[in-house]
């Protein structure tokens, strides 16, 4: 099969006779898929009419009736084609006309019927002309020896068959009609052409033979020659129509495939973006997604001078964690931890905490930082503007405590948070080309971590400098005393008691809530790390 040779990719998809897709859904969408500019292919109809009329007027000098017939057919065809292409030139035509054109071009039946009508009008124009010629001139039966009146017109009727071939060409050009119409209409045109030759032009064609072959030597009769020409042209054009149809279907498949691939690529990109946004802070994710020329080895780092850092741990979680069959080899403990951490993460979704960034979790310790978003610039140079994010970090710490409390109530647990906050300069960066991780480093982070590890369960411990800043926001502190911090010596630290004039009361209240019974709190405090023991000792001194 000709199309098997050219388009192996489509063979399994289509029926070899009708060329329709075996998949009904695909066939439906192919038929309803209106190619933009497909209406432009109809321009071939009036153009063919112009060529036919011009050549006929040159070869077969005609009377005024034929000129009127040409003009009317050409006029109707031009109007129809103009209507079909209005959609492509919306600026130059009435809106209602454009809408009607669009409706016609986008309806399967509409555009099929419309294109078929154009072809039929063209064919009818040609037939009318043929009939006119045959009837206008009375031709007597002639033979090789007859005297011919060479002054008569319509001497070359075979031209009507040549014109029919042109009509056939014009009939396969439009994209809109279905293949069945593209086959049926030209077949009818050829049959009518052959019938006209036999029934109307026989004598005229014999006369043309005699004019062309004066000596009556052996020749192929014109009637046979032109009818065969029409038939062969018809077969060739049907073949061409089928090849065009296969091509159009291949393009349709490719287009669909490309569209599917594009959608898949968009989907993957969306998922990747979501993934990047999940593992990196928004501003860093934007940097990575936007910077297409980024090299794998290129390091992303950013220095900040005023950042807040929070460490929050659940000191009694390690006691809770055990790998036994009763808790599914520790799975239930991890499920619980996941619930707690997820609740903390959910707090960061709140608008007021949008500038707080979760850095990571280290075991049951939650690490977050504020002031990392370069877009959130302070309104002015005042302490309260510059360190607003630090007060929000403290608010976040309070909310974490509340969230854990409510989980405790639901699960009959007694977990408490031990928190440490510090502020100062840090360096942030993304480490690793695979599984990249955003982290922060610096003395500020180390001290924040120490504030947590040397702190007390249920308390938020801060350095003196941090407490000074937070006092501007109305937070109330209780001096803890000097704490021995590894590598830093003795640091004066404070416990955050609450906010406002009744801050002390607030803190009392939060501690008095059944987050952990007082005895349990004391127990937890005693179970702090060795460095904490040193800290507590220094406190006692
Ligand atoms: N980016 C970070 N993520 C998590 N923890 C950090 C980070 N930076 C520092 N820390 C923690 O801060 C604490 C203090 O760090 P520092 O460098 O002062 O001492 P260290 O000798 O590394 O600490 P350690 O004695 O605990 O090993 C360490 O426990 C460290 O784990």
Reported as a single tens digit per residue, the pLDDT across 138-183 is 555 555 555 555 445 677 888 889 999 999 999 988 877 788 888 9
Query: Is 432 buried (19+), middle (13-18) or exposed (0-12) by CB count in 10 A?
Result: exposed
What are 90's two structure tokens?
């919306």
Instruction: Identify the pLDDT of residue 141.
Output: 52
- CB of 397 within 8 A of CB of 421? yes
Pairing between strand 300-313 and 418-431? antiparallel
For residues 5 and 367, which has the higher predicted lDDT (pLDDT)? 367
Pairing between strand 475-485 and 489-499? antiparallel
Q: Is 488 in the pocket of ligand 1 (CB under 6 A)?
A: no
d(CA 529, CA 452): 11
Least confident residue range of 61-65, 187-191, 244-248, 315-319: 61-65
Whole-number average pLDDT of the chain: 83
What are 162's two structure tokens?
């040549």
Residue 296 has pLDDT above 80, yes or no: no
Pairing between strand 418-431 and 460-463? parallel
Helices (H), 153-281: 158-172, 179-199, 202-212, 222-279
Least confident residue range of 110-119, 150-159, 348-357: 150-159
Instruction: Identify the pLDDT of residue 524.
Output: 41
What are 304's two structure tokens?
């900040």
pTM of the predicted protein model: 0.62
- CB of 313 within 8 A of CB of 418? yes
* Local structure of 476: helix, strand or coil: strand
| Residue 104 CA to ligand 1 centre (angstroms) | 73
Q: Is 365 in the pocket of ligand 1 (CB under 6 A)?
A: no
| Residue 526 CA to ligand 1 centre (angstroms) | 22
- CB of 163 within 8 A of CB of 70? no
Instruction: Identify the pLDDT of residue 224.
Output: 92
Q: Is 52 in the pocket of ligand 1 (CB under 6 A)?
A: no
Q: Is 441 in the pocket of ligand 1 (CB under 6 A)?
A: yes
- Phi, then psi, of 418 in degrees rounded to 5: -115, 115
Residue 488 has pLDDT above 90, yes or no: no
* Rounded mean pLDDT, 76-85: 92
Q: Any idea which residues carry the catalytic annotation?
A: 450, 486
Q: For the chain, what percentages of helix, strand and coil (3-state, to nearest 5) are there?
A: 60, 15, 25
Residue 395 has pLDDT above 60, yes or no: yes
Predicted ipTM of the assembly = 0.94
Tell me which residue has its CA closest to atom 13 in ligand 1.
446
Instruction: Identify the pLDDT of residue 471.
Output: 96
What are 160's two structure tokens?
């009507």
Instruction: Identify the pLDDT of residue 152.
Output: 54
* DSSP per residue, 458-474: T-EEEEHHHHHHHHTTT
Residue 442 has pLDDT above 80, yes or no: yes
Instruction: Please give the domain boundaries of the chain with CATH numbers for all domains.
Output: 24-265 (no CATH), 298-540 (3.30.70.1230)
Query: Is 512 buried (19+), middle (13-18) or exposed (0-12) by CB count in 10 A?
Result: exposed
Instruction: Identify the pLDDT of residue 539.
Output: 41
| Reported confidence tier of residue 292, pLDDT bands at 50, 70, 90 | low
């Amino acid at each position: 099969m000709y199309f098997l040779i050219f388009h192996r990719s489509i063979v399994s998809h289509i029926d070899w006779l009708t060329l329709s897709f075996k998949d009904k859904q695909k066939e439906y969408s192919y038929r309803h898929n209106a190619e933009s500019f497909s209406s432009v292919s109809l321009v071939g109809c009036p153009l063919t009419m112009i060529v036919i009329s011009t050549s006929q007027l040159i070869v077969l000098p005609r009377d005024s009736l034929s000129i009127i017939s040409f003009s009317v057919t050409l006029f109707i065809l031009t109007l129809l084609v103009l209507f079909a292409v209005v959609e492509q030139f919306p600026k130059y035509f009435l809106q209602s006309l454009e809408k009607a054109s669009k409706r016609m071009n986008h309806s399967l039946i509409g555009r099929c019927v419309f294109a078929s009508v154009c072809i039929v009008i063209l064919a009818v124009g040609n037939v009318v002309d043929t009939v006119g010629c045959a009837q206008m001139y009375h031709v007597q039966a002639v033979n090789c020896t007859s005297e011919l009146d060479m002054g008569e017109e319509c001497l070359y009727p075979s031209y009507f068959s040549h014109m029919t071939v042109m009509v056939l060409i014009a009939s396969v050009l439009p994209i809109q009609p279905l293949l069945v119409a593209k086959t049926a209409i030209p077949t009818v045109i050829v049959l009518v052409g052959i019938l006209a030759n036999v029934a109307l032009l026989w004598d005229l064609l014999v006369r043309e033979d005699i004019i062309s072959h004066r000596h009556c030597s052996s020749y192929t009769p014109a009637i046979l020659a032109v009818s065969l020409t029409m038939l062969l042209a018809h077969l060739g054009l049907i073949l061409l129509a089928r090849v065009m149809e296969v091509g159009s279907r291949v393009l349709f498949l490719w287009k669909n495939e490309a569209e599917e691939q594009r959608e898949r690529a968009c989907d993957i990109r969306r998922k990747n973006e979501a993934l990047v946004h999940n593992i990196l802070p928004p501003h860093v994710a934007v940097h990575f997604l936007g910077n297409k020329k980024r090299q794998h080895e290129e390091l992303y780092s950013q220095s900040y001078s005023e950042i807040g850092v929070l460490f929050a741990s659940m000191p009694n979680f390690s006691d809770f964690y055990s790998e036994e069959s009763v808790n599914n080899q520790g799975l239930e403990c991890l499920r619980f931890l996941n619930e707690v951490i997820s609740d903390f993460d959910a707090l960061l979704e709140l608008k007021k905490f949008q500038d707080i960034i979760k850095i990571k979790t280290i075991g049951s310790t939650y690490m977050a930082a504020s002031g990392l978003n370069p877009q959130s610039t302070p309104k002015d140079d005042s302490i309260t503007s510059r360190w607003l994010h630090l007060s929000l970090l403290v608010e976040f710490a309070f909310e974490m405590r509340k969230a854990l409390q409510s989980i405790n109530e639901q699960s009959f647990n007694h977990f408490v948070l031990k928190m440490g906050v510090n502020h100062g300069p840090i360096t942030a960066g993304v480490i690793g080309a695979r599984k990249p991780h955003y982290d922060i480093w610096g003395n500020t982070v180390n001290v924040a971590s120490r504030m947590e590890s040397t702190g007390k369960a249920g308390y938020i411990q801060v350095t003196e400098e941090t407490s000074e800043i937070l006092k501007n926001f109305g937070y109330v502190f209780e001096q803890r005393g000097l704490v021995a911090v590894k590598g830093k010596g003795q640091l004066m630290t404070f416990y955050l008691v609450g906010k406002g004039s009744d801050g002390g009361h607030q803190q009392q209240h939060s501690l008095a809530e059944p987050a952990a019974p007082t005895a349990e709190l004391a127990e937890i405090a005693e179970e702090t790390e060795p460095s904490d023991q040193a800290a507590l000792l220094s406190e006692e001194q």
